[in-house]
Amino acid sequence: MPVVNMEKLKFGVIGLGFIGKVHLRNCLKLKSARVVAAADKSKKALNYAKEFGVKQLFTDYQELLKLKDLDAVIIALPTYLHAECAIRAMEAGKHVFLEKPLARNPREGWEIVSTARRNCVKFMVGYPLRFVPEFVRLKSRLESGFLGDIQLAYAVNIAAGPFFHRAESTVPRPVSEWWLNKELTGGGALMDLGCHMINLLRWFLGEVSDIKSRLGYRFNFDFEDYATCIVDFECGTSAVVNVGWFSQSAAVGIELHGSMGHDRAYHSPSSKVITAIKLLLGETPKFYIPHLKELLYFVDYVKNDDNKENRLSGEDALRDLGVIAKAYENQIG
Amino acid sequence: MVGLVKCKERRVDVLKEAIKKALRLIDYSFPKAESVVIKPNMCYYWDYSTGQTTDPNFVAAMIKVLREEVSSDIDVSIVESDASAMKCKYAFKYLGYEKLAEKYKVKLVNLSKVESEPIKVEVKGEIFDFMIPKIIKNADLRINVPKMKYMMLSKISCALKNIFGCNPYPKKFKYHPKLSETIVALNKAMSFQLNVLDGIRVFGSKTLKLGLVMASQDPVATDAVAATIMGVNPKSVAHLKLAEREGLGKIEFTVKGDDLDYFRRRFPRKSLSEKAIAFGYRVACKLGLDKRII
């Protein structure tokens, strides 16, 4: 197990696309962590990190991994680079926080997870919905027994996917081409958003026994831009999961229907204007707060005792990936 | 002269009749033509349902009108160019134009990838250099099928601004410091003989089914009517004033057909607070604070 500086965890951020920038800004806010380096192929992206005071900047992440005075890395690269980068970071003895999905397929996911074990580094996959207060409250209601046995559940995650624009809403942003290549993403909306909802439902209801999917192609690409899944859980619950990349109005929610009651939780961002104003003022917009909490959780996990259970382990993310892979295999209609 | 027609549906045959009616209102008769280019608005990966890009059904209806009124074997090319945030190869697919091209046997042309020739255009005594795609220059008929939208930099985007997308150079933001002059110069370089606006769904402060088909041979008058519907004084729009001065058309317009006020009352205009936010954002950009936005 690599030795960790007990004062402040020293981070390198690899990948400064949209979500990498969210993690960078959040990491800079943590009292228990410090960003010492960042890597991205784009010099423009590196300038963003420079403006926030990051001193060591690299266009090649392998140079960043050579830094001795670095405890952990946040990896927010395109999905097809997850396995390569995470494995190299783990072999360099760095603890790894990896953006979801774990990898393009279970085989790559397994390679990452086994490398983490072999090198005794701490590893977590970012699932911010686990830190959304509304979902945490719903989980607590479920565990209290107030809802009885959950027979039916409904999960939805609808967004604009890669076709979204900057927070202030008027300026279209270029879409990175890897998003439009199924070989590089491992899938479309089902992979991107489905893994969030499968992870959340497994947290609520336990393991999945079966899943079937119906994929949709509104925008005529060879990857699905929306999907409906029917999921059976070992506990006996049946769930419907709807995901989509077709809307400029995000909706993320869960509904649980039990023998004694029903409850629902939805996670909504602030308006785009408020988000833009908060970013301009250097504050954390509402939608990024769960990302901040998950990072704080990771820092705590790395710094504290080895026996602490990681709620978002690589093994957990690997199970999500297995369920998604099965959904792609079991298509109906 | 500008023709206005109400049309509540997006079925191709219904749209075709609405377009024909709008053309009759302005006494338009098609010239003899073997080749035609149609320039829809495909500004980004937002499909017709957002009101921000031209509905492929609307273009399909236009193609049907051409085949009925000009020639059944007229050579139709739908043209667009790459932009800073949008690539034609994805937009054609995403917005439904690949399906349209297959069904109606028309060509999709990425103007950034075809042969062009240099041209110099003078506007306000200044010379502008562009490359003009030969397919546009050599077409017998050029039809502009724009949308009507607010735009932060130019107040409105409609017929004249849509031709900005015929410039094959992809990094179009380089023209933003002289946007009005560039819009007018491009319209002088590539004159489109007919403007048929897709106002079935529009995007103002929100998306709305406005149900409008507008036709005119005058792009300045088309934009002036659109601006009026959007609650913008046409004489306050810099590129409209400049276009009129450069002889591209007239801001003063005559409307025929359905009532202009019907559309003006229904258009989802920006509220004062939205205008204030847009102003605040422009100030933030000028101060360089927008770099903080992710």
Mutation site, A29, A163, A171, interface B, largest B CB count within 10 A: A171
Nearest CA in chain B to A161: B45
Those residues of chain A whose CB sits closer than 8 Å to some CB in chain B are 18, 21-22, 25, 48, 51, 163, 165-168, 170-175, 177, 180, 219-221, 248, 273, 276, 279-280, 282
Q: How many CB pairs under 8 A join A and B?
A: 61
Provide the token pair at A279.
Answer: 């970013």
pLDDT digits (tens, 9 = 90+) for A253-294: 999 999 999 999 999 876 777 777 777 777 888 888 999 999
Residue B288, helix vs strand vs coil: coil
**Contact call for B94 and A48, based on CB within 8 A:** no
Mutation site, B92, B282, B294, interface A, largest A CB count within 10 A: B294
pLDDT digits (tens, 9 = 90+) for B256-293: 999 999 999 999 998 887 778 777 777 777 777 666 66
Nearest CA in chain B to A217: B94
Residue B80 host element (H or E): strand B75-80
**Pure H helices in A30-105:** 43-51, 61-65, 82-91
**Contact call for B93 and A21, based on CB within 8 A:** no
> How many domains is chain B built from?
1
Nearest residue, CB atoms, A172 vs list B86, B93, B281: B86
What per-residue string of b and e applies to A27-36 under the rule 16 or more CB within 10 Å gives b? bbebeebbbb
**Which numeric CATH code is attached to A130-283+314-329?**
3.30.360.10
Q: Is the pLDDT of residue A1 over 70?
A: no
Distances (CA, A) of B147 to A74, A304, B261, B288: 43, 58, 19, 31
Those residues of chain B whose CB sits closer than 8 Å to some CB in chain A are 43-47, 50, 84-87, 90, 93-94, 96, 98-99, 152, 277-278, 281, 284, 289-294
Distance from CA of A94 to the nearest CA of B (A): 27
- What local confidence, expressed as pLDDT, does residue A168 receive? 45
What per-residue string of b and e applies to B216-245 under the rule 16 or more CB within 10 Å gives b? bbbbbbbbbbbbbbbebebeebbbbbbbbe
Q: Looking at domain A9-128, which CATH architecture does it have?
A: 3-Layer(aba) Sandwich (3.40)
Mutation site, A18, A40, A164, A180, interface B, largest B CB count within 10 A: A180
> Apex CA B33: angle with CA B27 and CA B35, to 5°?
125
pLDDT digits (tens, 9 = 90+) for A74-91: 999 999 999 999 999 999
Q: What percent of chain B has pLDDT over 70?
A: 98
ipTM above 0.95, yes or no: no
**Contact call for B93 and A219, based on CB within 8 A:** yes
Residue with tokens 């106002």: B199
What contacts B288, CB < 8 A, 6 or more positions away? none
pLDDT digits (tens, 9 = 90+) for B204-238: 989 999 999 999 999 999 999 999 999 999 999 99
pLDDT digits (tens, 9 = 90+) for A110-134: 999 999 999 999 999 999 999 999 9
Nearest residue, CB atoms, A22 vs list B84, B98, B294: B294
Residues of B in contact with A217 (CB under 8 A): none
Question: What pTM value is reported for the model?
Answer: 0.91
Residue with tokens 């036709």: B215
**Contact call for B46 and A174, based on CB within 8 A:** no
Same fold, A9-128 and A130-283+314-329: no
Q: Residue B52: which CATH number?
A: 3.40.50
Instruction: Return the domain boundaries, chain A.
Output: 9-128, 130-283+314-329
pLDDT digits (tens, 9 = 90+) for B68-119: 999 999 999 999 999 988 999 999 999 999 999 999 999 999 999 999 999 9
CA distance A291 to A298: 11
Instruction: Please name which of A129, A126, A101, A127 lies closest in space to residue A267, comparing C-alpha atoms.
Output: A129
**pLDDT, mean of residues B18-39:** 98
